[in-house]
Structure 1
Amino acid sequence: MRTPLKAAAHTLTALALAAFGTTTLATGAEAQPAPAPAHFGAKPLHSGAAQRTAATTTNTLSVRSSASQGVVSPTPKVYLVFWGSQWSSDPAGVAPDMQNMFKGLYGSQDTWGTILDQYCEGVAKGTTNCGTNGIHVQHPTSSPLAGVWFDNSAAAPGSATSTQIAAEAGKAAAHFGNTTQAPNLNAQYVVVSATGTHPDGFPNTGFCAWHDKTSSSYGTLAYTNLPYIPDQGAGACTTFTDGRLLSGIESTETHEYAETVTDFWPSIGWNGGGGEIGDECENLDAYVTLSTGTFDLQGLWSNSANKCVTHG
């Protein structure tokens, strides 16, 4: 859900407000989305310094529809798409870092991901506590990383529009063989742009990343626009000030991953007065050690704890 801060950031360019419609593919070769009015979970490039200290009833997340599909991603699967021949240069090591992070986000060592399994779909609109009802998000027992694609056959646009980013998600669905709605009920396509590029006006549009949905002949697709955040230097998009260059992109992608899992086709999923599950907690980061390394994971809103937390 967009907050006023996120809305303000997106008014800086008309392209950042391109929206997705219902146009579908004429062929199965490539998803061709149409434009849309807003994106979701747009983490600000520079969050406010004040950290939320007191929870209120407006922070509580509730289901915004009674749908049984598209509310959450019950068994999350992440597809990393490194877009463009520009990935021949990766000065910060983003590609291996993103892969290692998702390779470790499962099982008992991942206590951050367990925050998500309290949320569900298939319950009444307005539900705030699933209990044993509905279809819950399942904590992965193996890596949620389902595929990696370096789409390096051509250079990605230097300043890709939101429509072009959505189209790349459609190409990824075809590449991975997810050409019906069924596999795309859990697939999220993370379109990672290379160093020196400016997807959807980044960084001048003021966001670290955003997620959204798009329509295609493969069904509705969930995807993320993830720019090369290390280009902004250490400290961008994270609360840590220790100079670690990869912290910002890790914090940002965990923000978007969790929001996609709990508001899969925004915004019919879980939202509160402060936005989606990550929007509520942008001023809380923690280093979490997984089997594949230590990563900066952003805090998430927990209804059960009634506060922002970094472990379930």
Structure 2
Amino acid sequence: MHKPRRVRAAVLAAGLLSGSVVATAFTSPAQAAESDAHDAGNAAAVAAVTKDHKYRNGVVTTLSATAKAEVKASAAGDAVYFDDMTYFGGTPYPGSSNVGVVTDQPKVYVVFWGSQWGSEAVDGNGNHTYSGDTAGMAPRLQEFYRGIGTQNENWSQSIQQYCQGVSAGDKSCPANAAHIPYPTGGVLSGVWYDNSAPVSDSADGRAIAQEAINAAQHFGNTATASNKNTQYIIVSPSGSRPDGWSPAGDSFCAWHSYNGDAGLPGGPVSSSYGNVAFTFLPYLPDAGVNCGANWVNSGSAGNLDGVSIIAGAQFQNTVTSPFPYWPSPSAQVPASGGWFTPFYDENLNLVGATQGFCAWIAPGKPGGAANVKFGANTFPVQGTWSNAAQSCVTGSAPMTSKPQVLYNPNNRNIEIYGINGGNLAEKYWNAGNGQWSGWNDFGAFDTDPYGNDAETTIKLTGDPAVFYNPGNHNVEIYANAGGHLVEKYWNASNGWSDWADFGAGIQGSPKVFYNQNNGNVEIYARGTSGNLVEKYWNSRNGQWSPWVDFGGSLSADPTVLYNPNNRNVEIYINTNGHLAERYWNSSNGQWSGWNDFGGTLTGEPTVLYNPNNRNIEIYGNSAGKLTEKYWNAGNGQWSDWLDFGGTLSGVPTVIYNPNNRNIEIYVATGTSTAEKYWNSSNGQWSGWNDLGSGPAGDPTVLYNPNNRNIEIYSLADGQYREKYWNAGNGQWSGWNLLV
């Protein structure tokens, strides 16, 4: 679970958490820590706005309500704790199994409710516009919904970790569960101007639910199944105040519910069209900064910031909980309906639940609101709580590292790791069903994971080092966090650990190595002065050594190899363009000095042990050409440098292909990926083969033991792509985007 935060007495005072202990299927948090005042204030404001209006699910409160509650919370002393997003079970759906999340392409229908919107027209972009919408909220909202799920935007990726069909109380989902899908191609499915009558200020939650049912009929969604993955956005016009909305006061900016919620005024609203999910979205420009104007962007560019921030939050809240069922207006927690955040009292008894604590986190802070590109436009959005990341995430940051790929022998999965906005992200191919998971965000390095400070994260840089440890079967990740070596590992019994800090003193990307001679795990990296440094985990006593300085002058990150010929550990570096080597002698346990092999390298060298002839082969980029030098196992001599030509924009990748025993070289050319191979049958090198335009980043190559395929992963435009050689038919696939 994430760093559980102590939400103070302001929440209790607001009345949300009074009552008896309920829902015994849930477990209490094992650890807890004090939240910052923002979290406590946000929770208190939500509690106040929903106290007598439990149907206001996923409510985003006005900024003034949050700020005032924050001041009170900072002075309160009693503690309340909240846990990870937790599954509360599915809600019965007519003619179907229980529904906990949206499991098919989400559909959004927008209803501009009330004749006060004025006369209607359609602009050049196909947006419905209204004379009474002087601020331009209507076209902004439509463009936002059109952009969701287009051009591979990654804001929508975080919610893919949530699912249905698991047990109530679960906080994670297996790969074979019914997950929320990526909303490919936009979600806007229709727009209706209901000008049959003006909206009354006395309209309450029940009236809004009825309008959503009217919309289902209008759009022809009258079959029961047609509303299973659908949500209706009911937007009131400027000047109207339905459901007690107070744009200048301590009120709400939006909420969502469904017609069957017993918490609605007067109870559930009958529908002949199945369950109908809806969001109430008042005319946000009337509230100005109180509902998000200029929260991310300044001046006129930020006047409508609140539209996408608030609408986006409700879209994701509805997808993760389309039919939140509160059995009565006085209930402390919902009886079913998807994913909520449980609350616990000081004795860690469950006493309440709500959705979302990511509202009003300032831009630039971890989990804060940010601009994200959706299709042709950029919109500000708030973060979404991610159990995997243990934080609010916007998904706005691109991938910045070369993809690191691992075959996990524990489950035979193929796992991809990378750095996304300073956070560690993972995606895996499930060997059991042949499907890719969504992205899991594991966050940045937290210096105080269970302490009192909320903002204690340090972003990761460079490329993470990914490693399967055959000694304990763990998957271990090593990374650079502000010059510190940090580690996170996955244990088959206990799952993921927290980050551990192994001290400062590195730059670039660390390299991890398993020493077959002694079972040690060894880390090599560039020191802060360009020297080679090492730290190792001693398998005999389970302790980490201090940093050891091996000198040298590194122009790039080091490369490490185990040489089966002599069981030596060999380090190769680029030092001012020359290849240099230093090795640990397995016979006497001593390190050699540095050996200079010349050359004109750019970037780090790539090293391979060739099982065909037992040679050690070094490949590199020399002035944009592929160059090689090898140690001949037959005579113990080094060859001269060989020029293989080609066009290299980065560092080559080399792999031994067990299917044909070939040695294969893959390079980025700047516009495509190219391959050259040494044929084990005749000992000859092929020419260069262009594998098609696509990613421009240095490739990572993997042999997949499940299907014997050769798989290439590469970075382009902030996202990872994959291409594979099919061992069954000998053909290459096209490039596949890993969203």
**Aligned partner (choices 314, 317, 341) of residue 272 of structure 1:** 341
Q: Partner residue of 2:220?
A: 177
Counterpart amino acid of residue 73 in structure 1: V
**Aligned partner (choices 317, 335, 350) of residue 259 of structure 1:** 317
Matches within 5 A, 1:153-302: 153-203=196-246, 204=249, 206-215=251-260, 216-234=271-289, 236-237=291-292, 239-240=295-296, 242-243=298-299, 244-266=302-324, 267=334, 268-273=337-342, 278-283=356-361, 284-302=368-386
Q: Which runs of 5+ in 2 are unaligned?
A: 1-15, 17-42, 71-80, 92-96, 119-131, 261-270, 325-333, 344-352, 362-367, 396-438, 440-739
Cα contact 1:277–1:301 (8 A) shared by 2:
no
Alpha-carbon displacement from aligned partner over 1:230-262 (angstroms, at most 9, x marks no partner): 111245336436242211122111111110000
Matches within 5 A, 1:8-157: 8-10=48-50, 17=53, 37-46=54-63, 47-48=66-67, 58-65=82-89, 69-74=98-103, 75-88=105-118, 89-157=132-200
For 1:235 and 1:6, the matched residues in 2 are separated by 15
Post-superposition shift, 1:59? 3.9
Q: Secondary structure at the match of 2:276?
A: strand
Larger deviation: 237-246 or 280-289?
A: 237-246
Counterpart amino acid of residue 193 in structure 2: F
**Relative to structure 1, is the Cα distance of residues 279 and 213 closer, same or farther in structure 2, using a 3 angstrom cutoff?**
farther
For 1:235 and 1:247, the matched residues in 2 are separated by 11
For 1:250 and 1:172, the matched residues in 2 are separated by 22
For 1:107 and 1:273, the matched residues in 2 are separated by 33
Counterpart amino acid of residue 224 in structure 2: Q
Q: Secondary structure at the match of 2:175?
A: coil
Could you tell me the percent identity over the aligned residues?
A: 38
Q: Which runs of 5+ in 1 are unaligned?
A: 18-36, 51-56
Alpha-carbon displacement from aligned partner over 1:41-77 (angstroms, at most 9, x marks no partner): 1111013497xxxxxx944111111565331112211
Cα contact 1:104–1:290 (8 A) shared by 2:
yes
Counterpart amino acid of residue 288 in structure 2: G
Post-superposition shift, 1:281? 4.5
**Relative to structure 1, is the Cα distance of residues 100 and 292 closer, same or farther in structure 2, using a 3 angstrom cutoff?**
farther
For 2:115 and 2:180, the matched residues in 1 are separated by 35
* Structure with greater proportional helix content: 1
Q: Secondary structure at the match of 2:275?
A: strand
Cα contact 2:305–2:380 (8 A) shared by 1:
yes
Alpha-carbon displacement from aligned partner over 1:190-217 (angstroms, at most 9, x marks no partner): 1001111112111156111110111312
For 1:4 and 1:219, the matched residues in 2 are separated by 34
**Relative to structure 1, is the Cα distance of residues 278 and 110 closer, same or farther in structure 2, using a 3 angstrom cutoff?**
farther
For 1:153 and 1:292, the matched residues in 2 are separated by 34
Counterpart amino acid of residue 59 in structure 2: A
For 2:234 and 2:195, the matched residues in 1 are separated by 13
For 2:221 and 2:196, the matched residues in 1 are separated by 20
Q: Partner residue of 1:23?
A: none
Cα contact 1:61–1:276 (8 A) shared by 2:
no
Cα contact 2:87–2:171 (8 A) shared by 1:
yes
TM-score (norm 1): 0.83
For 2:206 and 2:250, the matched residues in 1 are separated by 16
Counterpart amino acid of residue 278 in structure 1: G
* Structure with greater proportional strand content: 2
Counterpart amino acid of residue 186 in structure 2: S
Q: Secondary structure at the match of 2:173?
A: coil
How many residues of Structure 1 are paired with residues of Structure 2 in the alignment?
A: 283
**Relative to structure 1, is the Cα distance of residues 221 and 66 closer, same or farther in structure 2, using a 3 angstrom cutoff?**
closer
Cα contact 1:106–1:139 (8 A) shared by 2:
yes
Q: Secondary structure at the match of 1:219?
A: coil
C-alpha RMSD of the superposition: 2.4
For 2:313 and 2:143, the matched residues in 1 are separated by 17
For 2:226 and 2:113, the matched residues in 1 are separated by 22
Cα contact 2:113–2:236 (8 A) shared by 1:
yes
Post-superposition shift, 1:143? 1.1
Cα contact 2:109–2:188 (8 A) shared by 1:
yes
For 2:161 and 2:342, the matched residues in 1 are separated by 19
Cα contact 2:201–2:243 (8 A) shared by 1:
no
